[in-house]
Structure 1
Amino acid sequence: MAVRITHVHVEGFPEDHQHITSYKWTNEETNGAGTSDKPAMVEWIDVKKGRAYVGTGSSRVEVGVVHPENAAPYLRTHAEVVPISVV
Structure 2
Amino acid sequence: MTRRITCITKLPNHQDRHRRIQAVGGSAWRDSEETAIANVKRDKSAYDVTEQGKTVKVIVKKHDGREYLKTENDHFLPDNLLSLPDCS
For normalisation by structure 2, the TM-score amounts to 0.73
Amino acid at match of 1:42: I
Task: Report the structure, 1 or 2, having the larger helix content.
Answer: 1
Residue correspondence of structure 1 range 57-68 to structure 2 within 5 A:
58-68=53-63
- Aligned-pair identity in percent equals 18
Distance across 1 between alignment mates of 2:62 and 2:16 = 19
**Contact 1:54–1:84 under 8 Å retained in 2:** no
Alpha-carbon contact 2:18-2:63 (below 8 Å) kept:
no
Q: Which runs of 5+ in 2 are unaligned?
A: none
* TM-score, with length taken from structure 1: 0.73
* Whole-angstrom distance in 2 between the partners of 1:51 and 1:39: 13
**What is the distance in 2 between the residues matched to 1:77 and 1:61?**
6
Q: Which runs of 4+ in 1 moved over 3 A?
A: none
